[in-house]
A and B are shown apart, each in its own frame.
Chain A
Amino acid sequence: MSTPAPATVRALELEKTARAQRLRRYGVWIAAAAILVGLPHVLRTPVAIPVMNQMGIAVVFALSYNMLLGQGGMLSFGHAVYFGLGGFIAAHVLNLAGRGVLYLPVPLLPLVGGLGGLVFAALFGSFSTTRAGTVFAMISLGVGELMASSALILDKFFGGEEGITTNRAKAPALLGLDFTTDRHVYYLIAFWALAAAAMMSAFSRTPVGRMANAVRDNPERAEFVGYSQRWVRFVSFCAAGLFAGVAGGLFAVNYEILTAENMGLSASGSVLLMTYIGGVGYFIGPILGAVIFTFLQSMLSDYTGMWLLYLGILFLATVLFVPAGFAGVLMLHAPAWRARRLGRLLGPYLLAGLLGLVVAVGVVGLLEMIHVVVSAPTGRTAKRLFWMTVDVRTLWPWLAFATLAVAGAVGLRWAAPQAAKAFTEASRPVETR
């Protein structure tokens, strides 16, 4: 085979761009690492670190889920099974290490969890990945329900309702780290989250990772190319189980307890939701989704008893208005960013955002006041809302919030098309003269 000259030139150019890409790719990881190291020094409140620990675990779990959903097109209702099993195995191993039966420092525990997740993913994947689509989804649902229920029945291994507790401080210390503070655990989770994310990102670039996309989009063609779609699905499934197990191992280190709840349907549902609202089509999507979802789940309940309602409304709004998820919205702005026109969007976006906020304030105010009327003790009609106290017996707060909601909505109807127009303008390709 002879190589013509122009192609060589092109190959060289490709080489150059590839190098630039690689540099950018590594740059992203290095920047991420720097931020992760610096975060605990910036956020110095006691609540920040536990919340970030939880986010780190959720990020790994959501990324592993997106290996199935986003890359492989496999909708699973039972992914928490591998998270939970990995976690339980890690917890038992940590207990053994604590008793001195085997030598295993805490930082290596997530590997044990990953191994556990992998073994069970291989076991259940062997029959559930024969088909894609609804059949796969429903088998995962059945397996999820079976395992979650078994966790309550098989008392010895899963510890029944109170679960398996463990103590990370009893395991052999490595480099003087005894993991008695959340900060130690933070760095452990940050390290593993970054490592797992990098490995998952790398997996998506391997031939099997690429074939997962092909099988998702057109299984017949993938078969013609010479790949067994079943095998590709199985490998993706095992890899997803492995990283879910890593997340489970991190959970065991962080919370020092695993319960049946960790394998349950609601845990599987949560990871689906966080992955979706983050955006299944992008690598960063699940990361965004996990961070936002975890934040809302653990902080929103401090402010309102109806946080679930707001979460439900958020799902509806996401599906209706940003079906590609938050990452999708961000990525939509890539052309505008490349054309250096993002600044032009600031005005219209701020206006629309402000009006959206007005609607939200109005609706939240009304809902919270209804909540007070329905459930507060008699006589307690005052309610703190948005840094002021309102009395639900008087008419004016009702009127005020209703006005805010309606006026904001009317304004938004006018402002939203403007913002959309500005977006189209800004995303227009730059004319080359």
Chain B
Amino acid sequence: MLELVLFSLLNGLVFATLLFMLSSGLTLIFGMMGVLNFAHAGFYMLGAYFAYTLTGYLGFWPALVVAPLLVGLLGAAVERYGLRRVHRFGHLAELIFTFGVAVVIEEVVQLAWGRTAKSYEVPALLDFPLFRLFRTSFPAYKAFMLLVSVGIFVFLFAILTRTRAGLIIQASLTHPGMVAMLGHDVPRVFMLVFGTGSALAGLAGVIAGPVLGTFPGMAQVLGTIVFVVVVIGGLGSLTGAFAASLLIAIVQTFAVALDVSLSSALATVGLRMSAGGMLQDLWKVTIAQVAPIMPYLLLVLILVVRPTGLFGTRET
């Protein structure tokens, strides 16, 4: 039991860090520009594929730096030459635009790298079990993922709260008009934020590619979970994104371990459900079975009770 709890906690933490890497960029973009960026998972995918190719030429460590930079540049270009033009047509147009970018990225990746999964592997330097407890080993690579993510959190937090650029970004989040009045180039701030956000997604791809697989459907598997994290955490709140990532990852990880269904729970208090009818499955479904959709339930519940999300200050 201790083994299960301990490793579930560790796995939850690792997954949380991955979620955070993706959602940190998204929450800044979402909070600042109001754009539901559907292409974010596409940039994550590009990060993994770039790193896969670059690893072949440069090795993993240079790729770890170069691939996110490339993705960031691409993101900045998408903002500069696409989103900025679309901005004046409103949020809906921006959303459709990012959706189109997502589709194009996914198809171009398949055109360039083919339709089959790529064997992008954990670097040899980190390919060993860090420690072994009872019957389970913990891979060094996961510890590395944890480290990188914590580093990013500290770095982003320091920039946002300790530097002048961070102050401008924070101000643009809440009062974009006022910041522009003060003579700051808000579109440029947007571009930088979008580029940085894309680069972070790319970094997540570089790091997660070997663990979660590098294949044409990798962006779709990720799906909308990052939006859920951002909204639960509160729009534009880095702390919120961090907390929501942890919450969702831990809830999901521990739900998997629970083989409890409604009927078994009722049975323990002495109630017997008669099996039958169209919705009989509802009684038999276990919490473990629905673990992956728990975040969406959480999303609906939290938004109904607290529309601003956990740490947010505004609704849109």
Contacts and interface: CB of A to CB of B under 8 A. Distances in A.
B107 A276 contact: no
21 contacts: A69-B92, A134-B315, A139-B300, A142-B299, A146-B296, A149-B290, A154-B281, A156-B277, A156-B279, A156-B280, A157-B278, A265-B223, A272-B96, A306-B107, A308-B107, A312-B102, A313-B104, A315-B96, A315-B99, A371-B111, A374-B114
Interface in A126-176: 127-128, 130-131, 133-135, 137-139, 141-143, 145-146, 149-150, 153-157
Contacts of A146: 293, 296-297, 300
A312 B108 CA distance: 10
A145 B293 contact: yes
B300 to A, nearest CB: 4
The contact size tier of chain B is: 35 or more
Contacts of B186: none
B316 A135 contact: yes
Interface string B234-254: 010000000000000000000
A131 B100 contact: no
Contacts of A313: 100, 104
Contacts of A141: 224, 227-228, 296, 299
Given A134-B315, A273-B99, 9 more contacts: A130-B304, A130-B307, A141-B299, A145-B293, A154-B282, A154-B285, A311-B103, A316-B101, A319-B96
B92 A280 contact: yes
A221 B4 CA distance: 57
Interface in A261-286: 265, 269, 272-273, 276, 280
B283 to A, nearest CB: 10
A320 interface: yes
Given A153-B290, A157-B279, A320 B36 contact: no
B248 to A, nearest CB: 12
Q: Is the interface of A mostly helix, strand, loop or mixed?
A: helix
6 A-B pairs with least C-beta separation = A312-B103, A315-B100, A309-B107, A323-B89, A142-B300, A142-B299
B299 A153 contact: no
Nearest to B235: A134
Nearest to A309: B107
B303 A142 contact: yes
A139 B304 contact: yes
Interface in A50-104: 69, 75, 77
Contacts of A153: 281, 285, 289-290
A142 B93 CA distance: 22
A370 interface: yes
Contacts of B93: 319, 323
Contacts of B97: 315-316, 319-320
A394 interface: no
Contacts of A269: 99
Contacts of A69: 92
B104 A135 contact: no
A46 B304 CA distance: 50
Interface string A94-128: 00000000000000000000000000000000011
A319 B95 CA distance: 10
Nearest to B103: A312
Contact of B111 (A128, A265, A309, A323): A309
Interface in B18-71: 34, 36
B231 A134 contact: yes
Interface string B100-135: 111110111001101100000000000000000000
The contact size tier of chain A is: 35 or more
B86 interface: yes
A21 B289 CA distance: 58
Nearest to B280: A156
B174 to A, nearest CB: 15
B111 A367 contact: yes
A201 interface: no
B108 A309 contact: yes
Nearest to B104: A312
B9 to A, nearest CB: 25
A316 B303 contact: no
Nearest to B102: A312
Contacts of A320: 82, 85-86, 97
Nearest to B113: A374
A139 B232 CA distance: 11
A28 B92 CA distance: 30
A280 B279 CA distance: 38
A184 B107 CA distance: 39
A306 B107 CA distance: 7
B100 A138 contact: no
A405 B159 CA distance: 45
B227 A374 contact: no
Contacts of B95: 75
Contacts of B303: 131, 135, 138-139, 142
A268 B62 CA distance: 41
B111 A145 contact: no
Contacts of A138: 227-228, 231, 299, 303
A323 B97 CA distance: 10
Contacts of B235: 134
Nearest to A308: B107
A127 B100 contact: no
A238 to B, nearest CB: 18
Contact of B114 (A135, A315, A375): A375
Interface string A369-402: 0110011000000000000000000000000000
A129 B313 CA distance: 20
A269 B103 CA distance: 12
A418 interface: no
Contacts of A273: 96, 99
A308 B111 CA distance: 11
B113 to A, nearest CB: 9
A92 B94 CA distance: 40
A312 B111 contact: no
Given A135-B316, A154-B279, A155-B281, A316 B82 contact: yes
Contacts of B228: 138, 141-142
Contact of A315 (B103, B223, B224): B103
Nearest to A133: B316
A365 B102 CA distance: 22
A138 B292 CA distance: 17
